[in-house]
Amino acid sequence: MSQGTGWLDRHVTGYAEWLIRWRWAVVAVSLVIALAAAAGGQFLGFSTNYRVFFSPQNPQLQAFESLQRIYVREDNISIVIRPHQGNVFQPGLLRDVRALTEDAWKVPYATRVDSLTNFQNSTAEGDDLAVRDLVPADSPLDAADLVRIREAALAEPLIRDRLIAPDARTLSVNITVTLPLKSETEVPESMAYARRLVDGFRQAHPEVRVALTGSVALNHAFSESAEHDIATLVPLMYGVLLLVMGVLLRSIAGTVATLLVIGLSAASAMGLAGWLGILLTPPSVTAPTIILTLAIADSIHILITMLQNMRRGADKRTALVESLRINFEPVFLTSLTTFIGFLSLNFSDAPPFRDLGNITAIGVAAAWIYSIGFLPALMAILPVRVKQRPIGYAGAMDRLADFVVGRRRAVLAVMVAVVAVLVALVPRIELNDQFVNYFDRSIPFRQDTDFAMEHLSGIYQAQWSLPAPGPGGISDPDYLARVEDFADWLRAHDIVVHVQTITDIFSRLNKNMHGDDPAWYRLPQERDLAAQYLLLFEMSLPYGLDLNNQINVDKSATRIVATLENITTNELRSLDDAAAVWLSENLPSAAGTTASGPFVMFAYIAKRNIEGMLTGTFAAFVLISLTLMAALRSVRLGLISLVPNLVPAFMAFGVWSVLVGQIGLASSVVTATSLGIIVDATVHFLSKYQRARRTSGASAEQAVRYAFSTVGTALWVTTAVLIAGFAVLSLSTFEINASLGQLTALTLFMGIVADFLLLPTLLLLLAGRGGRDSESTLPTVQQAAE
């Protein structure tokens, strides 16, 4: 190797000997540092709001926040009730739904409760306007009364498909909750209360299915899913890794030391996350699992070399020093590239991924420090016994090398064809972030929301704040007619279940004012009349059931809310685009208005994150490539390495587009994170190739064979460990994590394929054309150790 490496070797040897001398102190100091870092774990909490997925700069979040400041900030809890048999118009059931509606006002932070029973039913009473609950407290609920309620409810566009299904078999009680957003206990408090209400109702009505959904339930599901994952995935990961170590190391001391290193790395990273005040979310709780996987590689490299040396007859101390000397640089390099890869997640728009990146990067750095400090010091202390035996399982690798060298052109041609086909398939992937599907069916929120969507209406909504021309403009007949047209236009879409619009209230009041004559169910034709109807109606409404959630403060805009079928975010984006076109053509005062709401935010989240991560991935790619060039001391090899580093992610996405077809938020970060990991294999392969060519003057062919036989086995073994680790993530209850795990595992697999089939053929063919490596004339200082 070059002079620089010789200098480094001497220093590392010195360091290793110092470490062994001060082994007890190093172990003690490491443990103290780890404990101090891990103590931050006490500050860790789980975020309980879906809004954490959006950065403060996110335009969809900003639009939604503004909308909520204009009208009212609202989340909701929806209690969906469906008798197993028959319809909901049963006296006992309605009476208890009424009681449930009353009790629901006591849900913490509830500001409004809407249900069939407290619907403000306006009717003409002689010459006057009567406004009262559809099912008042003194309702007899006899046969005639039930007919009255049923007819009124099912005919009313304000509640049909929203609070009651058209088939009268399902109803819902919708609790509007205005969270102060000051503490993470707000959502659990509201949910706990709502669950108690629901449990009580279930006990009284075993003949009824009761489901609990809404955005508060969604918020709660995020924390429940995260807590569930951290409780199941981390132990599972330890189990998998323990198995791997048993097979690879066959050393109790080595296994114990490695377990300690990865455990300390994960604990330090999570503890520092606590000190930094990071709130855990489903993506960021995968950090310990990922750290465990990544951290093990460092230890294994160091231990395997040490144990190999001992099996060859070296004493422990010599074997340890030698292992550190050989592994110091590659372990540093691979940690650095992985570190860079995860740090690039800071370009993501979604803060949970930034947290994931930062926590994992901290863990990777911690793993590096513990692996070169704590691990060798501990190994110097622990008794290590090995059976002396020759090692040699390179047979398979030699055959692979023969194959690649012998059929280089065919292999390259096939690889290029495969890559081209897979890359061509990538654009077929549809971006979809239906947040309900983020959760697997073991999470109650998913079951309940699916049930609600099937029988009544869903959680997916899009809302528009439609400006009128000037203050009070919402009473303008022309504006009202156009808003009604927009509502009708929305209703004409099959994917739209319900549209809530103020125009229905105006039509209804007009009818009431004309003796409930159905012929007058139409918009008032004069502005003053409309305004005065509204004033009259507003003065008749009880606490909490006002129109402030639909009309802004100076009556210059109304909010229209469309509840949607279980559609993909792609379909929502199309609806949003079409609505924007319709509005600019037909409602000039609302031109340029786009849809808003949580579902809309998620509809654009993947795209926005991909845009952010394009920069991040590019930056990581440049930094990692520069690192490689510096490490290999060759621009030429650095450039060749671009191919096997870049291609695997494309190949993985291509396979994904065939197997799965849809991808959400997870897609945005996979390339960057996997890049930092797959590059490790390339580094190892190229450094061996380089070493052979420079130190022994080997031909490209010999160098490729040398690389295969020296690191081939180690590479596929470590890749297998990493794939197993990321495969554990696919068991997450959170779809983004599962996809992230599966896609990363797939990318790592493609990475090893590219390193074994594409990289050597490229080296052979490019070296064949260009002759000897132009930089191989550099002076060689010493022979490679292996």
Partner 1 sequence: MNNLTTAAIAGIILCFSAIPTAAETPEEKGRWIAEQTDRRDLGWGDSEVHLTMTLRNREGQSSIRKLSIASLEVDEPKLGDRSLTLFDEPRDIEGTAFLSHTRILDPDDQWLYLPALKRVKRISSQNKSGPFVGSEFAYEDLVSQEVERYTYKYLRDEPCGDRTCFVSERFPVYEHSGYTRQVTWVDHTDFQPRKVEYYDRKGDLLKVLELVEYRQYLGKYWRAHRLEMVNHQTGKSTTLAFSDYSFKLGLNDGDFRKSRLERLR
- State the residues that interact with partner 1 by CB under 8 A: 66, 68-73, 105-111, 125, 127-132, 178, 180, 471-472, 475, 513, 526-533, 535-536, 538-548, 551-555
Task: Measure CA 786 to chain center.
Answer: 43
Residue among 481 and 529 whose Cβ is closer to partner 1: 529
Residue among 254 and 597 whose Cβ is closer to partner 1: 597
Minimal distance, residue 463 CB to partner 1, in Å = 16
Residue among 29 and 531 whose Cβ is closer to partner 1: 531
Minimal distance, residue 231 CB to partner 1, in Å = 33
Minimal distance, residue 430 CB to partner 1, in Å = 36
Residue among 342 and 533 whose Cβ is closer to partner 1: 533
Minimal distance, residue 716 CB to partner 1, in Å = 59
Q: Nearest to residue 46, comparing CAs of 290, 273, 349, 233?
A: 273
Under a CB-based contact definition with an 8 Å cutoff, are residues 475 and 495 in contact?
no
Give the single-character DSSP code of 754.
I
Give the single-character DSSP code of 373.
T
Minimal distance, residue 538 CB to partner 1, in Å = 6
Q: How far apart are the C-alpha atoms of 637 and 775, rounded to whole Å?
A: 10
Look up tokens 């971006």; give the residue.
431
Minimal distance, residue 113 CB to partner 1, in Å = 10
In our burial notation (b when 16+ CB lie closer than 10 A, e otherwise), range 113-152 reads bbbbbbbbbbebeeeebebebbbeeebebeeeebeebbeb
Minimal distance, residue 553 CB to partner 1, in Å = 5
Task: Measure CA 537 to chain center.
Answer: 45
Alpha-carbon distances, residue 13 vs 2, 5, 258, 378 (angstroms): 17, 12, 22, 17
Helix, strand, coil percentages (3-state) for the chain, rounded to 5, are 65, 10, 25
Minimal distance, residue 616 CB to partner 1, in Å = 33
Q: How far apart are the C-alpha atoms of 362 and 268, rounded to whole Å?
A: 8
Residue among 2 and 178 whose Cβ is closer to partner 1: 178
Tokens of 252: 């109790």
Look up tokens 């144990």; give the residue.
307
Minimal distance, residue 67 CB to partner 1, in Å = 9
Residue among 125 and 517 whose Cβ is closer to partner 1: 125
Q: How far apart are the C-alpha atoms of 82 and 433, rounded to whole Å?
A: 28
Q: What are phi and psi of 174, to 5 degrees?
A: -105, 120
Which residues have CB under 8 Å from 314's CB, separation 6+? Answer: 322
Residue among 561 and 720 whose Cβ is closer to partner 1: 561
Q: What are phi and psi of 86, to 5 degrees?
A: 75, -175
Minimal distance, residue 470 CB to partner 1, in Å = 10
Residue among 66 and 185 whose Cβ is closer to partner 1: 66
Minimal distance, residue 511 CB to partner 1, in Å = 14
In our burial notation (b when 16+ CB lie closer than 10 A, e otherwise), range 507-534 reads bbbbbbbeeeeeebbebbeebebbbebb
Minimal distance, residue 461 CB to partner 1, in Å = 20
Residue among 528 and 585 whose Cβ is closer to partner 1: 528
Residue among 496 and 530 whose Cβ is closer to partner 1: 530
Minimal distance, residue 475 CB to partner 1, in Å = 6
Q: Please classify residue 562 by burial: count the beta carbons closer than 10 Å to its beta carbon, then call 0-12 exposed, 13-18 middle and 19+ buried.
A: buried
Q: How far apart are the C-alpha atoms of 58 and 61, rounded to whole Å?
A: 5
Residue among 58 and 465 whose Cβ is closer to partner 1: 465
Q: How far apart are the C-alpha atoms of 489 and 495, rounded to whole Å?
A: 12
Residue among 36 and 130 whose Cβ is closer to partner 1: 130
Alpha-carbon distances, residue 560 vs 53, 72, 465 (angstroms): 25, 13, 6
Residue among 47 and 475 whose Cβ is closer to partner 1: 475
Q: Strands of 208-213's sheet, edge to edge?
A: 110-114, 171-177, 75-83, 208-213
Under a CB-based contact definition with an 8 Å cutoff, are residues 266 and 288 in contact?
yes
Identity of residue 447: Q
Identity of residue 7: W
Q: How many residues does the chain have?
A: 786
Minimal distance, residue 176 CB to partner 1, in Å = 11
> 503 in helix, strand or coil?
helix
Look up tokens 């949970």; give the residue.
352
Minimal distance, residue 216 CB to partner 1, in Å = 15
Q: Where are the beta strands (DSSP E) in 216-328?
A: none
Residue among 120 and 627 whose Cβ is closer to partner 1: 120
Minimal distance, residue 246 CB to partner 1, in Å = 57
Tokens of 102: 């009353």
Residue among 133 and 355 whose Cβ is closer to partner 1: 133
Report the chain's C-alpha Rg in angstroms: 33
Under a CB-based contact definition with an 8 Å cutoff, are residues 702 and 374 in contact?
no
Alpha-carbon distances, residue 474 vs 418, 477, 480, 549, 746 (angstroms): 60, 8, 7, 14, 55
Residue among 125 and 199 whose Cβ is closer to partner 1: 125
Minimal distance, residue 53 CB to partner 1, in Å = 22
Alpha-carbon distances, residue 600 vs 347, 433, 579, 710 (angstroms): 22, 10, 13, 53
> 467 in helix, strand or coil?
strand
Q: How far apart are the C-alpha atoms of 703 and 780, rounded to whole Å?
A: 16
The residues with which 639 forms a beta bridge, in sequence order, are none
Residue among 175 and 499 whose Cβ is closer to partner 1: 175
CA angle 292, 296, 298 (to 5 degrees): 135
Minimal distance, residue 111 CB to partner 1, in Å = 6
Q: Nearest to residue 286, comparing CAs of 604, 601, 669?
A: 669
Residue among 431 and 530 whose Cβ is closer to partner 1: 530
